[in-house]
Amino acid sequence: MRLRKRDIQVKVSPAHADVVATIPRPWEAERPIEEIMSDLLRRIDARTKLAGANKLEILLFTLGTDVGTHRKETFGINVFKVREVMRIPEITRAPDMPSAVEGMVSLRGVLVPVVDLAKYIGITTEAPPAIMIVTEYNGHTQGFLVGEVDTILRLDWAEMKVPPAMLTARMGGLVTAVTELKDKRLVMMLDVEKILADTAQVDDSHLFASLTPLDKPNRTVFYADDSSVARRQIERTLEALNVNGIGAINGRHGWDELQKIAAQAEIAGRPVSDYVQLVLTDVEMPEMDGYVLTKNVKSDPRFAGIPVLMHSSLSSDANKQLGFSVGVDEYVPKFEPHRLAEVLNRLLK
């Protein structure tokens, strides 16, 4: 999956991003990079309100210079999912691991798997990684090895665009959103859920096989999620429950499709609830996040009585409270199919 310049040409307007912090290189910093990042990340809870305004903050990083293309691509990750950033500690090698998994590190007594992102993507870099980004997704902690971290930017989800088909195909669906900065750099948001699914090599088929079909025929759930892995997990859950599903790849796409359904219902002289009985939404999505999608649904009288279920790897109390503040009926962390099934059974009329 080597990146080439022609693979990442995409027409997007430069993002109006605000620089929250510029992160020095470890060898240039006046104090340890761990202390600098700790100070920055400690303020995340105070910034949770950004999501409700369709805004996010992303940590920019690179994997290093590709020896094949001599390019240094820029990637991004939502700071809500970053626990800490540090120099790479001692890694304990483990047998029978995927090639991109370097091994395990012990962080405060907890063993954390470490993934070399350059190896995972298929890039050979001029220098080995120097930094580890510790992330928390779906209740699991993992470390990602990168070349260097750069800046924390604040921008609008509307400035994050769906990646072009060529880039999606070239990266195997690994990039969920892209945006262009004022300095002409293209930032690619990685589908961390896909990385974890590919590197964990966990057989989760038993989680779906043990689900019991709901005794509620002809029910339809409309769901929006930018991760192909998450959409497939939702589809498998709905299939196991014998519930119909209509999918969308992000909040903007979801809202457009819901308005089409509402228009169809209006022409037929029927309520929208005859077509869709529940809306299931992720939080982080390009163009429109789940909070704004929820506000749109809840403020439109055509969708009266249709519950909205938020389904996200952002499972902190602050994020849950924000979801409830915009009208979410229930909040279910990813990915717990039995918990999701229990809530769907309760909310589907």
Residues 6 or more apart from 160 whose CB is under 8 A from it? Answer: 15, 56, 177, 178, 179, 189, 286, 287
Note the pTM of the prediction, 2 decimals.
Answer: 0.77
Q: What is the CATH number of the domain that holds 275?
A: 3.40.50.2300
User: For position 316, what pLDDT does the model report?
Assistant: 63
User: For position 12, what pLDDT does the model report?
Assistant: 39
CA dihedral 339, 342, 344, 349 (to 10 degrees): -160
Range of the domain at 295: 205-347
Task: Give residue for tokens 């700071």.
Answer: 79
Note whether 223 and 94 are same-domain residues: no
User: For position 17, what pLDDT does the model report?
Assistant: 54
Three-state secondary structure call for residue 70: coil
Pairing of strands 148-156, 175-180: unpaired
How many Cβ atoms sit within 10 Å of the Cβ of residue 14? 13
User: For position 3, what pLDDT does the model report?
Assistant: 38
User: For position 5, what pLDDT does the model report?
Assistant: 33
User: Side by side, which strands form the sheet with 101-107?
Assistant: 82-87, 131-137, 140-146, 110-116, 101-107
Note whether 87 and 230 are same-domain residues: no
Note whether 232 and 162 are same-domain residues: no
Tens of pLDDT along the chain (349 residues) come to 433 333 333 333 455 555 545 555 554 545 565 665 666 555 555 455 555 567 788 899 999 999 988 889 999 998 878 888 889 999 998 888 888 999 999 998 889 999 999 999 988 999 999 999 998 877 788 999 999 998 888 888 888 888 888 877 777 778 889 998 888 888 999 888 888 888 876 667 777 888 999 998 999 999 999 988 889 999 999 999 999 999 999 999 999 999 999 999 999 999 999 999 999 999 888 889 999 999 999 999 999 999 999 998 766 666 777 788 889 999 998 888 899 999 999 999 8
Note whether 184 and 217 are same-domain residues: no
Give the DSSP letter of residue 109: T
Q: What is the CATH number of the domain that holds 69?
A: 2.40.50.180
Note whether 189 and 215 are same-domain residues: no
